[in-house]
Structure 1
Amino acid sequence: MGGGGAGPGAQLQSRQKGLQAVRLGRETAAQLAASVERPGYDPAAQKCGIVHFGIGAFHRAHQAAYTDAAMAAGDRDWRIIGVSLRSGDVAAQLNPQDGLYTLVERSSDAVAMRLIGSVARVIVAPEAPDDVIAAIASPDTHIVSFTVTEKGYVRRADGSLDTDNSALASDLSGAVPRTIYGFLAAGLARRRAAGLPGLTLLSCDNLADNGRQLRLLMRAYLEATDPTLADWFNAHCRCPATMIDRIVPAMTMEDRAWVAGEIGLEDEGAIITEPFTQWVIEDDFAGPRPRWEAVGAQLVDDVRPYEAAKLRMLNGAHSALAYLGLDAGHEFVHQAVADLAIRPVIETIMREEAAATLEPASGIDTVAYAGSLLDRFANSALQHKLMQIAMDGSQKIPQRWLEPLATSQAAGRSSPATLQALAAWIRHVRGDRRAVDDPQAQALGALWQAHGREGIAEALFGANGMFTATWQAAATDLEYLSKQLRQ
Structure 2
Amino acid sequence: MNSRLSNATIAELPGAIAIPRYDRDAVTPGIVHLGVGAFHRAHQAAYVDACLADGEADWGIVGVSLRSPDTRDALAPQDGLYTLAVRDSAGEKLQVVGSILSLLVAPEDPGAVLAALTDPRTRIVTLTITEKAYLRAADGSLDGSHPDIVHDLANPGSPKTAHGFLAEALARRRAAGAPPFTVLCCDNLPANGATLHRLLIEFAMLLDARGSAGDRPLAGYVADEVAFPSSMVDRIVPATTDADRTRIAGELGLEDAWPVMTEPFRQWVIEDRFPAGRPAWEKFGVTMVEDVGPFEDMKLRLLNGAHSGIAYLGLLSGHATVDRAFADPAIRQFVDWLWAEAIPTLPQDAGLDPIPYTAELAARFSNTALAHRTAQIANDGSQKLPQRIVASALTRLEAGLLPEHLSLVVAAWIAACAARGGSLPLGHFTDPLDAALTALLGQELPANETVTEVFELAGFAKDHAKRQTLIELVAVHLVHLRREGPVLAFAALGIDSR
Same fold, judged at TM 0.5 (above): yes
Asked if structure 1 preserves the Cα contact closer than 8 Å seen for 2:189 and 2:387, the reply is yes
1:360 aligns to what SS in structure 2?
coil
Residue 408 of structure 1, aligned match among 388, 396, 403? 396
Residue 193 of structure 1, aligned match among 155, 168, 175? 175
Say how many residue pairs are matched: 466
Deviations 1:234-284 (Å, cap 9, x if unpaired)?
A: 232100000000000010111011111112111113111000000000011
**Higher RCO by CA contacts (8 Å cutoff, separation 6 or greater):** 1
Asked if structure 2 preserves the Cα contact closer than 8 Å seen for 1:24 and 1:101, the reply is yes
**Post-superposition, which runs of at least 4 consecutive aligned residues in structure 1 deviate over 6 A?**
none
The CA distance in 2 between the partners of 1:425 and 1:103, in whole Å, is: 32
Amino acid of the structure 2 residue aligned with 1:73: D
2:445 aligns to what SS in structure 1?
helix
1:364 aligns to what SS in structure 2?
coil
Identity over aligned residues, as a percent? 45
1:341 aligns to what SS in structure 2?
helix
The CA distance in 1 between the partners of 2:258 and 2:183, in whole Å, is: 26
Aligned 1:149-188 pairs, distance under 5 A: 149-174=130-155, 176-188=158-170
Asked if structure 2 preserves the Cα contact closer than 8 Å seen for 1:199 and 1:236, the reply is no
2:295 aligns to what SS in structure 1?
helix
Determine the structure 2 residue equivalent to 1:484: 480
Amino acid of the structure 1 residue aligned with 2:225: H
Asked if structure 2 preserves the Cα contact closer than 8 Å seen for 1:98 and 1:120, the reply is yes
Comparing 88-97 and 464-473, the one that deviates more: 464-473
1:361 aligns to what SS in structure 2?
coil
Determine the structure 1 residue equivalent to 2:432: 439
Determine the structure 2 residue equivalent to 1:80: 61
The CA distance in 2 between the partners of 1:424 and 1:271, in whole Å, is: 30
Determine the structure 2 residue equivalent to 1:210: 192
Comparing 353-362 and 464-473, the one that deviates more: 464-473
Amino acid of the structure 2 residue aligned with 1:110: G
The CA distance in 2 between the partners of 1:171 and 1:424, in whole Å, is: 37
Asked if structure 2 preserves the Cα contact closer than 8 Å seen for 1:21 and 1:264, the reply is no
2:442 aligns to what SS in structure 1?
helix
Q: How does the TM-score come out when normalised to structure 2?
A: 0.91
Determine the structure 1 residue equivalent to 2:232: 243
Determine the structure 2 residue equivalent to 1:17: none
Asked if structure 1 preserves the Cα contact closer than 8 Å seen for 2:231 and 2:292, the reply is yes
1:311 aligns to what SS in structure 2?
helix
Determine the structure 2 residue equivalent to 1:101: 82
Amino acid of the structure 1 residue aligned with 2:101: A
Answering whether residue 372 of structure 2 is matched by residue 384 of structure 1, we say yes
Answering whether residue 286 of structure 2 is matched by residue 297 of structure 1, we say yes
Asked if structure 1 preserves the Cα contact closer than 8 Å seen for 2:48 and 2:281, the reply is yes
| Runs (5+) with no aligned partner, structure 2 | 484-498
| 1:362 CA displacement | 2.0
Q: How does the TM-score come out when normalised to structure 1?
A: 0.93
| 1:370 CA displacement | 0.8
The CA distance in 2 between the partners of 1:174 and 1:102, in whole Å, is: 38
| 1:360 CA displacement | 1.4
Deviations 1:99-120 (Å, cap 9, x if unpaired)?
A: 1111111111132211111001
The CA distance in 2 between the partners of 1:482 and 1:335, in whole Å, is: 24
Asked if structure 2 preserves the Cα contact closer than 8 Å seen for 1:244 and 1:279, the reply is yes
The CA distance in 1 between the partners of 2:238 and 2:106, in whole Å, is: 25
Asked if structure 1 preserves the Cα contact closer than 8 Å seen for 2:382 and 2:458, the reply is no
Distance change >3 Å, CA 468–CA 360, structure 1 → 2:
closer
The CA distance in 1 between the partners of 2:295 and 2:61, in whole Å, is: 26
The CA distance in 2 between the partners of 1:482 and 1:191, in whole Å, is: 52
Answering whether residue 326 of structure 2 is matched by residue 344 of structure 1, we say no
Amino acid of the structure 1 residue aligned with 2:268: W
Amino acid of the structure 2 residue aligned with 1:268: A
Answering whether residue 307 of structure 2 is matched by residue 314 of structure 1, we say no
Asked if structure 1 preserves the Cα contact closer than 8 Å seen for 2:83 and 2:95, the reply is yes
The CA distance in 1 between the partners of 2:44 and 2:373, in whole Å, is: 22
Comparing 316-325 and 34-43, the one that deviates more: 34-43
| 1:233 CA displacement | 2.2
| Runs (5+) with no aligned partner, structure 1 | 1-19
| 1:316 CA displacement | 0.3
| 1:466 CA displacement | 4.1
CA RMSD of aligned residues (A): 1.6
